[in-house]
Amino acid sequence: MSGNIFPRWTNTVRDLSGLAVVGGAVYATVLVWFGFSPNTTDVGYKPSQPVPYSHALHVGQLGLDCRYCHTTVEVTGHAAIPPTATCMNCHTSLQNTSPKLAPLRDAHAKGEALAWRKVHDLPDYAYFNHSAHVNAGVGCVECHGRVDKMEVVEQVQPLSMGWCLQCHRDPAPRLRPADQVTNMNWTPGEDPAALGKRLMEQNNIHPRTDCSTCHR
């Protein structure tokens, strides 16, 4: 008489159950790791705006410098959003009856700001200073991509801690002369890493990687 309490086929069920538990745990880990990664949840985000402002037109075709609208990027931690008066410098006479610009004209007449929707939104616990990066020679395209080709601005980089640390640990390939920071079409005339290392020495650039650098 066999000493087994359960039929032999239950052994197979036991083995398959074990594989299912282990496989499920691995699947759940991968799902959370990639599914909730900024590469998945944030990259590609491009909200609609109160007026259809085209960077491809204003920057790419007309050649507006980033600093015409974002006036504070070189001197403060934040890139200023332009007031309606800046827009109306041109649109008082250009496209001044366009229905698409009606919210702009109304806001200007009332002395109000347009409710622009933020695209690149870092969490409150992360400190970032625009002027420090701009003055160090980090080009706008490194974080924002080719904005001059975007009809609607979208997030092209994850802006995650790991992504920031990659640059802080090896900034040389991402550096350029300070007068070329806003030039979307700039290309180095030599190896980017070699140029970057020279700029690091000239400008005493040594990014920190300790926690207090970004979490203050």
Q: Give tens-digit pLDDT for 152-163.
A: 999 999 999 999
Mean pLDDT of 29-42: 52
Q: How far apart are CA 184 and CA 208, in angstroms?
A: 27
User: Which residue has tokens 């609607």?
Assistant: 152
What is the structure's pLDDT at 42? Answer: 85
Q: How far apart are CA 190 and CA 184, in angstroms?
A: 17
Are 55 and 139 in a shared domain? yes
List Cβ neighbours of 100 (8 Å cut-off, separation of 6 or more): 51, 52
Amino acid at position 76, single letter: T
Name which residue leads in pLDDT, 61 or 40: 61
Q: Which domain holds residue 157?
A: 49-81+118-213
Q: How far apart are CA 65 and CA 76, in angstroms?
A: 18
Are 175 and 196 in a shared domain? yes
pLDDT exceeds cutoff 50 at 99: yes
pLDDT exceeds cutoff 50 at 16: yes
Are 56 and 132 in a shared domain? yes
Summarize pLDDT for 182-211 with one digit per residue, the tens.
999 999 999 999 999 999 999 999 999 999
Mean pLDDT of 15-31: 63
What is the structure's pLDDT at 19? Answer: 73
> For residue 43, is it within any domain?
no
Q: Tell me the pTM.
A: 0.79
Are 111 and 136 in a shared domain? no
Encoding tokens for residue 185? 């079409």
Summarize pLDDT for 163-189 with one digit per residue, the tens.
999 999 999 999 999 999 999 999 999
Are 90 and 75 in a shared domain? no
Are 130 and 177 in a shared domain? yes
Summarize pLDDT for 130-153 with one digit per residue, the tens.
999 999 999 999 999 999 999 999
Q: How far apart are CA 207 and CA 209, in angstroms?
A: 7
Summarize pLDDT for 103-121 with one digit per residue, the tens.
999 999 999 999 999 999 9
What is the structure's pLDDT at 20? Answer: 72
Q: How far apart are CA 92 and CA 85, in angstroms?
A: 10
List Cβ neighbours of 133 (8 Å cut-off, separation of 6 or more): 143
Chain CA centroid to CA 73, Å:
15
Name which residue leads in pLDDT, 163 or 9: 163
Summarize pLDDT for 46-97 with one digit per residue, the tens.
999 999 999 999 999 999 999 999 999 999 999 999 999 999 999 999 999 9
pLDDT exceeds cutoff 90 at 40: no
Are 91 and 131 in a shared domain? no
Q: Write 179-187 long-range contacts (CB < 8 A, 24+).
A: 180/137, 180/139, 181/134, 181/137, 181/138, 181/139, 181/140, 182/65, 182/66, 182/67, 182/139, 182/140, 183/139, 184/59, 184/60, 184/140, 184/141, 184/146, 184/147, 184/148, 185/148, 186/139
pLDDT exceeds cutoff 60 at 127: yes
> For residue 42, is it within any domain?
no
List Cβ neighbours of 57 (8 Å cut-off, separation of 6 or more): 151
Are 145 and 102 in a shared domain? no
Are 96 and 110 in a shared domain? yes
Share the mean pLDDT of the chain.
89
Choose one of 115, 139, 173: the last residue of a domain.
Answer: 115
